[in-house]
Structure 1
Amino acid sequence: MTFDRAKVWLWSRRIGWRVLVYGGLLVLLARFLVFPGAFMSLFGLLEGAPGWMSKYEKAYDVDGVWLSGWLMERPGKPLAVFYGGNAMDAGVLAPVTEMYKDCAWLMVNYRGYGRSEGWPSEERMVGDAVAVLDRVVKETGRSMEDVVLVGQSIGSGVAVQVAARRSPGRLVLLVPFDSLLAVAKEKAPFLPVRWLVGDAFRSDKAAERVVCPVFIFAGSRDTVVPPEHARRLAALLPNVRVFREFDCGHNDIWEADGFYREMRNALRVRGVPESAPSEEVGSGAVEVSAD
């Protein structure tokens, strides 16, 4: 049997192109699964803020990249900073800012989301969040103790890392995970997820550096991020004040019975007097989709 170098080269080239194409498609699929909101924004498919929020619009320059957002200022009150889900325009939280008036609200879209420039990655999302937080705290005359970080779904991964780098007054995590990598392995055990999911969002590794009080709200019927991930994260955080599982799934946490009262209490920070009791908002009061 003779060795035909030309045929071997032709065969190798054909196989090589297939590997590159299929490998590229897998990477693209992984990017879509982690950051679907960025792809949806490209085609204008992501629901944004209602028109009345336009007067609160802000834009922040981080290393030459403009990030779009909203700052609903309420001087003298704590600042709630919201980090949304991976298929969420932060502007859809507008109804929540009216429901929870004990706080000012800052909501900034990740790179590639809404009208924010650039493309998201774990490193950029966390770096942007820290930069914007530092700037707004300084501009509004607050201290970090006046800040409540609120992270939902993939935003919990951002919020935990920001809390580990700064010392906010409180950290509130909604339907959080201990590690995005761990969730991905459960969802697709047949795929090389460690290679595909470069943005692992290892909240479990950052947890020990979070010293502020933490409030965790999970969904007992959550099939996107099953509640055991929230339980694992809670076991690693040194200062968990409240852990509660509501009778809800992943995307309807804000509508769950009892959530309004728990969230309202979680948003209060030290030194802020408790407002007069108000009627609890029941199920279906606001619709905020996480993913």
Structure 2
Amino acid sequence: MALYSWLFSSNFVDYSLTSATVAVMAILCGVYAMQSKLIYVPDFPPGSRKQVWRPSRFGWTDFEDFFLDTADGVRIHVFWMPSHRKKPIEVPTLLFFHANAGNVGHRLPILRQIAELVDINIFAISYRGYGESEGTPSEAGLRKDAQAALDKLLSCEKVDKKRIIVYGQSIGGAVAIDLTARNQSKVAALMVENTFRSLPELIPHVMPVLGWAKVLCHQKWESAIRMKEMTEAPLPKMLFLSGSRDELIPPAHMKSLFNTITASEDGLKKARFEVFEKGTHNDTCLQPGYFEAIAAFIKTI
């Protein structure tokens, strides 16, 4: 009888409310603190932190394999693959930012295909915490990695500074957009594939069970805002590569980014949108016409 009375007492209600509040706060704190581990997946597929394919595996004989120091002292892994048909200064340079998971080595087949179709230098990095790079991934950190890569190219005598093309896939597209917005006058062109407007807008689609937690997202990658910031002419030329069957990032995100940049007269002239009807998130680059679209675009730079 005493227990029954206590269960319906104000003390029990206060105790229950306090316990529930503590539990909810613990969940919220956990989601906030652990989101970087949920977003960035450098350990997948297994072995990605230690096994990095080299350019020689895909036919490059002339390349450089080195580490680059970022502004905050993190060493990131870099591949430099100059044009194998012309002098580096005579061709554009592609600065490449890979998609989530894996490392830069996993994307070398894609880069090799581009190099076969068009004369170009390629500078590709593994973000901090990915592949053989030091550090832990975060939005602030990846922004520093991207800036260090661009600064390296701008300091290189072998590179035509007026023909730098920034290319990113998926989250690499967000990295590319952010870097271009902060360095608009130093980037000749931007190419993005299957990227998003922002991470908070993407979370309800990718992780519906955590949709409510988007307000806690501190890894934002606000690509839509960065696009709006690029308002002053001349804009870089831009190529949007969108898979219509992207199951991870709704294709509407890509179209929205394109619409944002083409709202201006200069953007309307400079940007083009390529749709691959059967392209999913990871196989858009395998669709007919993908590499031809990239090669045709690069030839205009």
* TM tier relative to shorter chain: 0.7 to 0.9
Give per-residue Cα distances to partners, 1:207-240, cap 9 Å, x unaligned.
Answer: 0333211100100111101211100010111425
Give per-residue Cα distances to partners, 1:1-27, cap 9 Å, x unaligned.
Answer: 99xxx9999989966774565445434
Matched, 1:266 2:290: no
- State the alpha-carbon separation in 1 of the partners of residues 279 and 14 from structure 2: 57
Contact 1:69–1:91, Cα closer than 8 Å, also in 2 = no
Q: Is 108-117 or 182-191 further displaced after alignment?
A: 182-191
Q: Is 70-79 or 51-60 further displaced after alignment?
A: 51-60
Q: Which amino acid aligns with 1:260?
A: F
Q: Which secondary structure does the structure 2 equivalent of 1:36 belong to? A: coil
**Number of the residue aligned with 1:250:** 281
In structure 2, runs of 5+ residues without a counterpart are none
Contact 2:200–2:215, Cα closer than 8 Å, also in 1 = no
- State the alpha-carbon separation in 1 of the partners of residues 148 and 54 from structure 2: 26
Give per-residue Cα distances to partners, 1:163-212, cap 9 Å, x unaligned.
Answer: 11113111001112122221113334553332442111111101033321
Aligned counterpart in structure 1 of residue 227 of structure 2, from 201, 207, 211: 207
TM-score, scaled relative to structure 2: 0.77
Aligned counterpart in structure 1 of residue 105 of structure 2, from 91, 99, 106: 91
Aligned residues, how many?
Answer: 266
Matched, 1:73 2:104: no
In structure 1, runs of 5+ residues without a counterpart are 271-291
Contact 1:91–1:107, Cα closer than 8 Å, also in 2 = no
Deviation at 1:108, TM superposition (A): 0.7
Give per-residue Cα distances to partners, 1:244-288, cap 9 Å, x unaligned.
Answer: 110210101111011121011122343xxxxxxxxxxxxxxxxxx
Aligned counterpart in structure 2 of residue 59 of structure 1, from 42, 64, 67: 67
- State the alpha-carbon separation in 2 of the partners of residues 10 and 187 from structure 1: 36
Matched, 1:113 2:130: yes
Aligned counterpart in structure 2 of residue 133 of structure 1, from 150, 161, 182: 150
Aligned counterpart in structure 2 of residue 49 of structure 1, from 38, 48, 53: 53
Matched, 1:150 2:167: yes
Deviation at 1:51, TM superposition (A): 6.6
Matched, 1:179 2:198: yes
Q: Which secondary structure does the structure 1 equivalent of 2:155 belong to? A: helix
Change in CA separation of 1:105 and 1:86 when aligned onto 2, cut-off 3 Å: same
Deviation at 1:133, TM superposition (A): 0.8
Deviation at 1:100, TM superposition (A): 2.2
- State the alpha-carbon separation in 2 of the partners of residues 50 and 123 from structure 1: 27
Q: Which amino acid aligns with 1:44?
A: G
State the superposition RMSD in angstroms. Answer: 2.9
State the identity %: 24
Q: Which amino acid aligns with 2:78?
A: G
Matched, 1:26 2:26: no
Q: Which secondary structure does the structure 1 equivalent of 2:221 belong to? A: coil
Aligned counterpart in structure 1 of residue 261 of structure 2, from 210, 226, 237: 237
Deviation at 1:98, TM superposition (A): 2.7
Give per-residue Cα distances to partners, 1:16-61, cap 9 Å, x unaligned.
Answer: 7745654454346532331012x448x6345632472695312101
Greater radius of gyration (CA): 2
Matched, 1:163 2:180: yes
1:209-224 equivalences under 5 Å are 209-210=229-230, 211-224=235-248
Contact 1:70–1:106, Cα closer than 8 Å, also in 2 = yes
Contact 2:69–2:148, Cα closer than 8 Å, also in 1 = no
- State the alpha-carbon separation in 1 of the partners of residues 137 and 300 from structure 2: 31
Q: Which secondary structure does the structure 1 equivalent of 2:132 belong to? A: coil
